[in-house]
Amino acid sequence: MRQPYGSRRVETVALFAQSIYLIFASVYVCKEAFERVLLSSTEGIPGSGDSHEHHHQRIDDFDGPLYPITLLLTSTFSLLFSSFFYNNHSRLVEATGSHLPSSVSFIQSLLKPSSSAPAWTRVPPSWAILRLLSNPFSITPLTFSTCIWAFSVFLPPSQHNMADIAVACAETVLTFMIGYPAAVALGKVLLQTAPERGLPGGQLESFLRVMRELENHPQIIHIPAPHLWQLSPLPPKKSHHPQYQDDGEMISEEGTLVATVQLHVKREMDDADVLELASVAREQCTRALGVSGASVTITVVKG
H-only helix segments in 155-227: 160-190, 203-215
Tens-digit pLDDT profile for the chain (303 aa)? 566 666 778 889 999 999 999 999 999 999 999 998 888 777 655 554 454 444 444 444 445 567 788 888 898 899 899 888 888 888 888 888 777 765 445 444 555 554 444 444 455 566 778 888 888 999 999 999 999 989 888 988 888 888 889 999 999 999 999 999 999 999 999 998 877 766 666 788 889 999 999 999 999 999 999 998 888 886 555 443 444 444 434 344 444 788 999 999 999 999 999 999 999 999 999 998 875 567 899 999 997
**Which run of H or of E encompasses 265?**
strand 257-265
**For residue 41, with 0-12 CB atoms within 10 Å meaning exposed, 13-18 middle and 19 or more buried, which class applies?**
exposed
Exposure string for 185-199, b = 16+ CB within 10 A, e = fewer: bbebbbeeebbeeeb
Check residue 246 and give its pLDDT.
40
Asked if 138 contacts 178 with a C-beta cutoff of 8 angstroms, the reply is no
Asked if 142 contacts 83 with a C-beta cutoff of 8 angstroms, the reply is yes
Check residue 7 and give its pLDDT.
74
How far does the chain reach from its first CA to its final CA, in angstroms? 32
φ, ψ of residue 5 in degrees (nearest 5): -115, 25
DSSP 263: E
Domains of the chain: 9-99+135-190 (no CATH), 200-302 (3.30.70.1350)
Helix, strand, coil share (%) of the chain residues, nearest 5 = 55, 10, 35
Pairing label, strands 257-265, 250-251: unpaired
What is the pTM for the complete model shown?
Answer: 0.75
Check residue 219 and give its pLDDT.
92
Asked if 189 contacts 12 with a C-beta cutoff of 8 angstroms, the reply is yes
Check residue 253 and give its pLDDT.
43
> DSSP letter string over 212-261?
HHHHT-TTEEE-PPPEEEES-SSPPPP-SS-EE-TTSPEEPSS--EEEEE
Check residue 121 and give its pLDDT.
44
